[in-house]
Amino acid sequence: MSLFKPRKLIEYAAMAAIWVALILLFGSLSHNFLSSRTFLTLANRIPALAVVSVGMTLVLVIGGIDLSVGSVAGLCGSLLGVLVLNCHMPFWEAVVLCLIMGLAAGTANGLVSVCLNIPSFIVTLGMLEVARGLAYLVTNSQTKYIGGAVEGLSEPVASFGVSPAFLITVALTIIGQIVLSRTVFGRYLIAIGTNEGATRLAGINPVPSKIAVFALAGLLSGLGGVFLTSRLGSADPNVGVGMELSAIAAVVIGGTSLMGGRGSVINTFFGVLIIATLDAGLAQIGASEPAKRVITGAVIVAAVVLDASRQRLATRLAQSFNVVKRNANTAAPTSPN
């Protein structure tokens, strides 16, 4: 139900409109932006950032933050390379081990920050260092070329034109939204983010849910790392540096509150699309590196400003829609009399 509330639909449409505006802008500025290749390239590059951002959305919803996602992705991606290349492990077994690694890192974040009551900012900052260090350790600081053995996940499936990684990402985004808005667990998360004390007084123990959120964020970062290694065909211990900031930007562009209690996984996905489109578009028109940075920063802030007014607009539109519906409902039974 809540997936299709008019208010939500208006919000999704507004996010999509920002994205389309960006596409049209780059379409008019460059020769070949509006081509199927551009969109296939976009679909090919977003999975890693998008799945990491799903986890980040949940963490921000409970009022926490996870700075370790990029490093954990780097660690899991590197581990995948080492397992496949040096230990000759079959691809899928290696993937499972990498996901367990991500889950373990996330669980460690959750246990330390929740059970010992330490701000997640500092705990995950520590994990950022630990995981990156481990990534250098397992790869011996060397880039490893793997090639065909890992590329299957990121190669387009013939009939769809998009990669399995992209399909998994879309599925995870939808599942994430359903979990957040339609399950007891999801409602707990929003309650914890809104007012943790009140949630506890209402008889709900927030500890297991909070740990689970950090564990999930770690697991999804691990998956992001697997996607990265698969796309690049190589394991690079430096991969994912700074990814946490891109993920936070995508989530906040999507309207999730940094203070917790409010968020949408589908809008996060649009946030990722906007960031990726901006990056690809600026590269296609051949903007210089300083210009790219200035423009990207400005667009992030502008998107968040727009988001604030978008939410007010959506609330107002939804209210008038409800008024119309109520009038129609009250009018209907009276008409036969």
Partner 1 sequence: MKLPRFCYPLVIAACAILSGCNKGENQPATGTSNTEKPKIALVMKSLANEFFSTMEQGAKKHQQAHAADYDLLANGIKNETDLAEQVTLVEQMIARGVNAIVIAPADSKALVTVLKHAKAANILIINIDNKLDADVLKQENLQIPFVGPDNREGARKVGEALAKKLKAGDEVAIIEGIPTAFNGQQRRLGFEDAMKTGGMKMVTTQAGNWEMEKANNVASAILSEHPDLKAILCANDNMALGAVSAIESAGKSGKVLVVGFDNISAIKPLIEKGAVVATADQHGDQLAVFGIEAALKILKGQAPPADQTTPVDLITK
Regarding 164 and contact with partner 1 (CB under 8 A), the answer is no
Nearest distance, CB of residue 58 and partner 1, angstroms: 24
Q: What minimum distance in Å lies between the beta carbon of 284 and partner 1?
A: 4
**CA-CA-CA-CA torsion for 11, 14, 19, 22, nearest 10 degrees?**
-150
Site string for partner 1, 259-288 (x = CB under 8 A): --------------------xxx-xxxx--
Q: Are 12 and 270 in contact (CB under 8 A)?
A: yes
Distance CA 130, CA 35 (A): 42
Tokens representing residue 71 in the block: 């490093």
CA nearest 214: which of 121, 119, 109?
109
Smallest gap from residue 137 Cβ to partner 1 (A): 10
Size of the site for partner 1 (CB under 8 A): 42
* Span interacting with partner 1, options 61-69, 93-101, 214-222, 224-232, rule CB under 8 A: 224-232
Question: What are the contacts of 13-21 at 24+ separation with CB within 8 A?
Answer: 14/310, 14/313, 14/314, 15/254, 15/255, 15/267, 15/270, 15/271, 15/274, 15/310, 16/270, 18/270, 18/274, 18/303, 18/306, 19/270, 19/273, 19/274, 19/277
- Residue number, 137 or 171, with CB nearest to partner 1: 137
Could you say which of 205, 238, 315, 319 contacts partner 1 (CB under 8 A)?
A: 238
Nearer to partner 1, 43 or 114 (CB): 43
Site membership for partner 1, residue 140 (CB under 8 A): yes
Binding positions for partner 1, rule: CB under 8 A: 30-33, 35, 37-38, 41, 44-45, 132, 136, 140-145, 147, 151, 154-156, 228, 231-234, 236-241, 279-281, 283-286, 289
